[in-house]
Amino acid sequence: MLIVLFCFSFISAKENEKNEGKKVFETYCWGCHHQTAMAFGPSFSAIASQRTAQEIEAMIANPEGVSKVLGYKRNAMPTLKLKPEELRAITAYILSFGSISDEDNTSKKEDNKTITKKSYPNIATVKEIH
């Protein structure tokens, strides 16, 4: 019974995080990433199928720096000043559009040929890329 309660609370917490992520999406992201019409930015299903949670968080927190690391010539993504819990929530929401679960999406980095070999742990806080 305790295991069932733990599983239910874990699932419930994940759903709450996705719901909070939807609110962040509606506030900051909808203008470029709306899912039902022609959008400027890529769809969340495209992002979720190509990026890990860590890569998504880095791109949201420091889009200019990540774009440089990835070798993109241009970047239209604005830097969003989100709280850590908002960043986790929008990332969970984006990943909910993918066909691969968050636990399985760590293998995407190896499969994605556009990703550099650089590590991402501190990229969201880096101000300048050398």
Query: Distance between CA atoms of 122 and 30, rounded to whole angstroms?
Result: 27
CB-based contacts of 120, cutoff 8 Å, min separation 6 = 54, 55, 58
Domains and CATH numbers, the chain: 17-111 (2.60.40.420)
pLDDT in tens, 12-42: 667 888 899 999 999 999 888 876 666 688 8
Please state, in angstroms and rounded to a whole number, the distance separating the CA atoms of residues 55 and 121.
9
In a 13 Å sphere around the CA of 34, the CA atoms on its Cβ side amount to: 8
CA count, 13 A, side-chain hemisphere, 74: 2
| Residue 96, token pair as written in the block | 């909910």
Threshold 0.75, pTM exceeds: no
- How distant, in Å, are the alpha carbons of 41, 49, 65, 95 from that of 104? 24, 11, 26, 11
Q: For the segment 48-93, what is each residue's pLDDT rounded down to a tens digit?
A: 999 999 999 999 999 999 999 888 888 889 988 999 999 999 999 9
